[in-house]
Amino acid sequence: MIGRLNHIAIAVPDLAAAAQQYRTILGAEVGAPQDEPDHGVTVVFIQLPNTKIELLYPLGDDSPIRGFLDKNPSGGIHHMCFEVDDILAARDRLLSEGARVLGSGDPKTGAHGKPVLFLHPKDFNGCLIELEEI
């Protein structure tokens, strides 16, 4: 069901410093910051030959990333995103297997402009999983 690893998301306490670190120290191609108000984050994507890294920074006081950074002040891996061909079919299959989809269960538009869903980390060994329709 899941396809290619689309990205690994890392919550960071200083978005500009983290982006600069990937750009200068690691020599990566770093995109511009983009606000994602529906998800309460500002993101920066780092392009790699085989996947992406998504740097996450809180956008607003109600951001879920703010809570993550309160618990992990230095930042850390927040989630992994996998591609799926049909997000509604994937959701329905996961629900039938007993997995929990966060929120209403209806896909939202993600940072790439495509439908996304998040799966409860307690159902996947403590890892928050994002699914993105390709």
Q: Catalytic residues, which ones?
A: 130
Which amino acid makes up residue 105? G
The gap from C-alpha 7 to its chain's centroid, in whole angstroms, comes to 7
User: Could you give the CA distance from residue 96 to residue 87 in angstroms, rounded to a whole number?
Assistant: 14
Q: SS3 for 64-101, per residue?
A: HHHHHHHHCCCCEEEEEEEEECCHHHHHHHHHHCCCCE
Q: Two tokens at 103?
A: 């929120």
